[in-house]
Each structure stands twice: as structure tokens, then as C-alpha cells.
Amino acid sequence: MLIAITRAVSRSIVNCELTHLERLPIDLERARLQHLAYEETLRDLGVKVHCLPEEPHLPDSVFVEDTAIVLDECALLTRPGADSRQPEVESIARALAPYRKLFNILAPGRLDGGDVLTVGKRIFVGLSSRSNQVAIDQIQVFLKPFGYTVKSARVTGCLHLKSAVTQVAEGTLLVNPVWVDKTNFPGMRFIEIDPSEQYGANALMVGGRVLTQPAYSKTRARLEAAGIDPLLVDQSELGKAEGALTCCALIFEG
């Protein structure tokens, strides 16, 4: 069974970290309703959702993806690139401990889970404002015994690697080629976003389905032309906090 760890939206999300977006008002109630709908979509897909309670003093804590990398053999607890987010990891460690052996990214390593794209036994890690080479070197050491290869990919113009590229089918990536070079992913097939929808590359693959946001209709048409029928889930309010579909859950086999 697939398990998803999520967390309720913090009442302090209006104080979230921002890097590439201007600060806009966030409607807390709307953000919470959208997040509940997201969790319900996961349940409809057969995922067991374990929702952690709100962290009132941690504005970005709904974005649980950034705190851990969960693989079949183990989980890596990250060391988020924004200092304000590092306290988020403790409760995620407690939630993951029953399921996986845990490793920790150590200082001076910096890593946000949003910078990690796993495709089978290949791990692609974004070099971004939030993740550094020291963390990538540690990941290589942790995962070498399990047969993973780890490769860095430079990210420009966006917060995380998975803002620029996500997996949408076996061997197929949805990509914004302006933000990450496709040559970083040899052997993969690509669906490029519509250039007018620069944030459209963040999709969430759950089992055999792909979740996308309704705002990216032109990119959705490209997915449909490739034989992918996306489910629409609106996370637009959390998008004002530089969040997206992959950010809001840690999904793994239980």
C-alpha cells in the first residue's frame, strides 16, 4: 500500500520563505480547503494518508517533501536550505521511523527534498539556492550500498529541481527546459511544458495517475497528446508560497 505523510497548513504560512516570487496575500482558509481536497484525491487513488498536525510556528511546514527522501530501502532526513525550515525535520523523523532506516544530511550539507528527483535507481539532485554539493556527496555515500546512482543538475530561475522537471510516465519527464538542461537526464523521453506556463512542469505521479494543476491547461494538452490523462488538483493558494503538488506529501510504499 502507498502511504502519504502530509501536514496541515500552518496558520503562519503568510510568513513563508520566498525566493523567486513577490509576496502576495494568502487566504489561509482557501489554502486549507485546497490541501484537504489534495489529500482526498490521494485517498481516492488508494493512498493511506497520515496527516500530521499543524505546526503553528513553522510557516512552510505543509511542504513536507523538503524534509526527507523516502526510498524503498531507507529514508534520508534533509537539512533544509532555509534555516527557518530546519526544525520541520524532527516530527517527520518520528513519522518515518516505523517505516524506514533513517540517515541524516549533516552540516555543512544543505538539501531540500524538492531538489531530488528519483527515477528508478537514478537520483537526480538539483544544485540550487537550497541544496549544495556537500549534501549530494553525502547522498552518494548513503545510497551506494543500495545500488543507486546520484547525479547533480544545475537549476536556474526557479526554487527547486522539481519546479523544473518531474516524472509523468515510465521513462518520461515533464520539463521546463529554460530552468534545467535536458542533457542532465540521458536516456529519458521528454514532454516540454507550454512556454507560457513556466511553473507547469511540477506534476505528481501516484501509481499510474498523474496530478496536475488546472492553471496549466496548455501543458495539460501536451500531456494528453502523449497519452497521459491527468487528474486536476488546484494548489494555487499554496503556489503563492512557492509550493506545488509534489511539495505537499511524502509518498512511499508501506
CATH topology of domain 2-253: L-arginine/glycine Amidinotransferase; Chain A (3.75.10)
Average pLDDT of span 106-133: 98
The pLDDT-based confidence of 18 (bands split at 50, 70, 90) is: very high
Rounded CA separation 85/198 (Å): 26
Q: Of residues 16, 35, 158, 160, which has the active-site annotation?
A: 160
Average pLDDT of span 30-35: 98
Confidence at residue 76, expressed as pLDDT on a 0 to 100 scale: 98
Rounded CA separation 156/142 (Å): 27
State what percent of residues in the chain have pLDDT above 90: 99
Q: Of residues 16, 158, 247, 248, which has the active-site annotation?
A: 247
Confidence at residue 236, expressed as pLDDT on a 0 to 100 scale: 97
Average pLDDT of span 223-242: 98
The pLDDT-based confidence of 209 (bands split at 50, 70, 90) is: very high
**Is 160 among the residues known to form the active site?**
yes
The pLDDT-based confidence of 202 (bands split at 50, 70, 90) is: very high
The strand order across the sheet containing 250-253 reads: 48-52, 2-7, 250-253
Average predicted confidence (pLDDT) for the chain: 98
Nearest Cα to Cα of residue 247 among 80, 65, 42: 65
pTM, to two decimals: 0.97
Query: Using one digit for the tens of pLDDT, what is the confidence trace for 150-195?
Result: 999 999 999 999 999 999 999 999 999 999 999 999 999 999 999 9
Confidence at residue 119, expressed as pLDDT on a 0 to 100 scale: 98
Confidence at residue 135, expressed as pLDDT on a 0 to 100 scale: 98
Average pLDDT of span 28-35: 98
Q: What angle do CA 183, 189, 191 make, to 5 degrees?
A: 95
**Is 247 among the residues known to form the active site?**
yes
Residue-range domain boundaries for the chain: 2-253
Task: Specify the pairing of strand 68-70 against strand 75-77.
Answer: antiparallel
Average pLDDT of span 11-16: 97
Confidence at residue 29, expressed as pLDDT on a 0 to 100 scale: 98
